[in-house]
Amino acid sequence: MELQHTTQSIGSLETVYDGKLEQAVREIMDGMIECSPYYKNAADNACVYCEYNDVCGFDDTAGDRRRLIDKLRADEVWEKLVASG
């Protein structure tokens, strides 16, 4: 499948991004701040880059969950964006 970024596909990306951002803002404003850092591997995960990892309290032994990141091809990413938007 040849990947072509059309105005429509970029618009879908913008719609999904805006929706996710609005959802995150609502959750933060409602006090719903969950520890669920992404995790790709030991060297590439949110905790490696986080300024707050010393105080966040993330503890996978206490039931906190990591969000595993799947490797996707570019066309799979766009298909998921279009389906969710």
Give the pLDDT confidence score for residue 4 in this predicted structure.
63
What are the average pLDDT values for consecutive 10-residue runs of the chain, which has 85 residues?
66 84 88 82 88 81 86 84 70
Q: What is the pTM of this model?
A: 0.52
pLDDT at site 22: 92
Distance (Å) of CA 23 to CA 16, 17, 38, 72: 11, 10, 18, 24
Question: Taking phi first (over 0 means left), then psi (-120 to 50 degrees means alpha), and beta for anything else, what does residue 68 get?
Answer: beta
Quote the pLDDT of residue 63: 84
**Structural contact between residues 70 and 41, judged by C-beta atoms closer than 8 angstroms:** no
Q: What is the structure's pLDDT at 1?
A: 44
